[in-house]
């Protein structure tokens, strides 16, 4: 299994996973917060034909995750997997039409039940975030490698930590520095939202989660969904280094413009 990102942050998110034989791999997109033209251009950057995407899984209805999903799906015929709550929210925002269900391209998923998409198994789990029915997930390859994703989450629950403890690689939000957030030009309501239990993970809370992942499985972590306004790459680098380096766990940082280049989940290629 390998993964890449087309961009990570409040202006648009999209992760790609690829698993299986080169001739017939499974290619999964998690979220698509970019317009179709931009998505196609960014897919080209990582060498993927839009027609070759087998499915899009949507974590929740915020524009930076769902903005491009249905237009992409209509253009390329890609099936969309999402929870009932996210589907209802997408209808309310007129991102799609009720009759899109009849095309067979919408698959409603349960936020606690594993689901198979070709060679990949998804293990979704609910997260505290200010959306209708948000999920994050583990993605398991046929060889048993597991990558966890956790972004857009305001606080850590015992359930999500238990799920992430199974992961060999992890994409983890490190959204903001609380001090930079409090000194930012954001209106008070936005500051409250971002730092609340249903907002986004601060650098410190991300580090606390990393410390709780003690199964010994974890080999590599990507810092994701960093705020351009209220975070600084160097701070994340320093904090994660202190938590992860003594444990021999490699890490890297995804960004809004460049995203994240393909990283193989071959155990020999783990270390950064």
Lookup: tokens for 13: 């998110």
Lookup: tokens for 215: 């199964």
Q: Name the minimum Å distance from CB 119 to Zn ion.
A: 27
Rounded-to-integer distance, Cα 248 and Cα 251, Å: 10
Q: Name the minimum Å distance from CB 156 to Zn ion.
A: 16
2 or 62: CB nearest Zn ion: 62
Question: Of how many residues is the chain composed?
Answer: 272
106 or 135: CB nearest Zn ion: 135
Locate all alpha helices (DSSP H) within the chain, ordered by sequence: 36-45, 63-66, 69-76, 84-92, 158-164, 178-182, 188-195, 203-212, 233-244
In the three-class reduction of DSSP (H, G, I as helix; E, B as strand; rest coil), residue 78 is classed as: coil
156 or 265: CB nearest Zn ion: 156
93 or 214: CB nearest Zn ion: 93
13 or 141: CB nearest Zn ion: 13
Q: Name the minimum Å distance from CB 85 to Zn ion.
A: 13
Q: Name the minimum Å distance from CB 65 to Zn ion.
A: 6
Q: Name the minimum Å distance from CB 180 to Zn ion.
A: 18
Neighbours of 104 (CB within 10 A): 8
Strand ranges (DSSP E) for the chain? 2-7, 14-19, 26-30, 55-57, 80-83, 106-109, 115-117, 120-126, 135-140, 146-150, 169-173, 220-224, 250-253, 260-264
Tokens 């380096």 belong to residue: 245
Q: Name the minimum Å distance from CB 243 to Zn ion.
A: 23
Chain positions contacting Zn ion, by CB under 5 A: 62, 64, 152
What does the longest C-alpha to C-alpha distance in the chain come to?
53
140 or 152: CB nearest Zn ion: 152
Neighbours of 237 (CB within 10 A): 14
8 or 78: CB nearest Zn ion: 8
Cα of first residue to Cα of last residue in the chain, in angstroms, is 16
Neighbours of 226 (CB within 10 A): 24
Q: Name the minimum Å distance from CB 8 to Zn ion.
A: 9
């Amino acid at each position: 299994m390998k993964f890449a990102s087309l961009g990570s942050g409040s202006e648009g998110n999209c992760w790609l996973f690829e698993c299986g034989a080169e001739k017939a791999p499974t290619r999964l997109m998690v979220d698509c917060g970019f317009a179709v033209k931009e998505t196609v251009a960014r897919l080209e950057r990582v060498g993927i034909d839009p027609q070759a995407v087998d499915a899009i899984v949507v974590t929740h209805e915020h524009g930076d995750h769902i903005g491009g999903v249905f237009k992409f799906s209509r253009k390329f015929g890609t099936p969309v997997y999402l929870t009932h709550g996210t589907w209802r929210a997408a209808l309310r925002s007129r991102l799609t039409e009720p009759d899109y269900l009849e095309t067979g391209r919408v698959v409603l998923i349960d936020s606690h039940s594993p689901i198979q998409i070709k060679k990949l198994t998804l293990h979704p789990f609910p997260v505290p975030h200010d959306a209708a029915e948000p999920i994050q997930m583990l993605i398991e390859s046929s060889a048993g490698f597991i990558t966890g994703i956790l972004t857009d989450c305001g606080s850590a629950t015992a359930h999500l930590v238990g799920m992430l403890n199974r992961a060999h690689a992890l994409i983890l939000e490190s959204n903001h520095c609380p001090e930079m957030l409090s000194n930012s030009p954001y209106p008070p309501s936005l500051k409250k939202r971002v730092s609340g239990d249903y907002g986004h993970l601060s650098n410190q809370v991300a580090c606390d989660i990393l410390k709780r992942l003690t199964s010994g499985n974890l080999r590599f972590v990507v810092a994701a969904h960093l705020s351009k306004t209220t975070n600084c790459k160097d701070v994340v680098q320093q904090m994660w280094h202190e938590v992860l380096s003594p444990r021999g766990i490699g890490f890297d940082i995804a960004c809004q413009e460049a995203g994240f280049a393909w990283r193989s989940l071959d155990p020999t290629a783990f270390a950064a």
